[in-house]
């Protein structure tokens, strides 16, 4: 199934945490669709970032949907807290829980959109039994934990495979890609039928984050118009 509008989801991991409100306003002005929020626990991934209070503050700072990417072990322990703090979408890792099905159901029961994420070493097939329980599948195109890493090109094939399954089973989940996304791979990601582009460094580590979002959308829109 084809989506009319692709989503650009700036990742605030690359923003200045002391000036988050300004960063969010800038990308809003550039037409960002979603704000991507990376939560890391120092266990599931080798880095610690931000948590529930920051999601609550962001909720007050923007009307855009908050896409909360939980890179934490046993995420089911905190799903309710994140939804109550204002997460519109909650993404949990297949590798982080023995009970992915339960975690995804919890998210939907709490009224949020459910996403399942997989690391570069995890095959798409690891999600085959939960595709009817997700609003989004997140393909990691770097090993999670840090911004600014190089895009791992195995992600293209995973996106194509997911798109094929989506069409075959008439499903409607979005395909989101996260890590090393920039103007150089945007067109190919669109050709592969990705729907949501998460971009940290390529948006916030520029002189004009609003313009970076606009340019990414331009490249993506152009690529879609050429899709065969």
What's the min distance (Å) between Cβ of 1 and ligand DX5? Answer: 25
What's the min distance (Å) between Cβ of 168 and ligand DX5? Answer: 28
Q: Please state, in angstroms and rounded to a whole number, the distance separating the CA atoms of residues 113 and 134.
A: 8
| Identified binder of ligand DX5 from the candidate list 200, 213, 215, 219, rule CB under 6 A | 200
Active-site residues, by number, are 38, 178
- Residues 40-99 close enough to bind ligand DX5 by CB under 6 A: 69
Look up tokens 């300004």; give the residue.
22
**Sign of the alpha-carbon dihedral angle for 46, 51, 57, 59:** positive
| Identified binder of ligand DX5 from the candidate list 15, 34, 36, 78, rule CB under 6 A | 36
Please identify, among the stretches 20-28, 56-64, 108-116, 173-181, the one whose residues bind Zn ion according to the rule CB under 5 A.
173-181
Residue closer to ligand DX5 (CB basis): 62 or 201: 201
b/e sequence 157-172, b meaning 16+ C-beta within 10 Å: ebbbbbbebbeeeeee
Site string for ligand DX5, 157-176 (x = CB under 6 A): --------------------
Site string for ligand DX5, 121-150 (x = CB under 6 A): ---------------------x-xxxxxx-
Q: For the chain, how big is the Rg over CA atoms in Å? A: 16
Angle at 213 between CA 211 and CA 214, to 5 degrees: 60
DSSP assignment letter at 2: -
């Amino acid at each position: 199934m084809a989506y009319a509008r692709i989503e650009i989801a700036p990742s605030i991991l690359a923003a200045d945490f002391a000036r988050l409100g300004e960063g969010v306003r800038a990308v809003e002005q550039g037409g960002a669709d979603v704000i991507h929020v990376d939560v890391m626990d120092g266990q599931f991934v080798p880095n610690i970032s931000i948590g529930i209070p920051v999601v609550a503050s962001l909720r007050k700072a923007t009307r855009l949907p908050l896409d909360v990417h939980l890179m934490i072990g046993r995420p089911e322990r905190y799903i309710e807290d994140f939804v109550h703090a204002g997460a519109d979408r909650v993404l949990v890792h297949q590798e982080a829980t023995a009970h992915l099905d339960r975690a995804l159901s919890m998210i939907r029961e709490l009224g949020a959109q459910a996403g399942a994420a997989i690391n570069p070493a995890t095959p798409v097939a690891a999600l085959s039994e939960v595709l009817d329980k997700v609003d989004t599948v997140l393909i990691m195109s770097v090993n999670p934990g840090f911004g600014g890493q190089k895009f791992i090109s195995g992600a293209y094939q995973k996106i194509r495979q997911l798109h094929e399954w989506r069409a075959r089973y008439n499903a409607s989940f979005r395909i989101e890609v996260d890590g090393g996304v920039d103007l150089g791979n945007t067109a190919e990601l669109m050709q592969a039928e990705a729907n949501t582009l998460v971009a940290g460094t390529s948006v916030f580590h520029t002189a004009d984050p609003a313009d970076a979002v606009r340019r990414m959308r331009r490249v993506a829109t152009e690529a879609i118009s050429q899709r065969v």
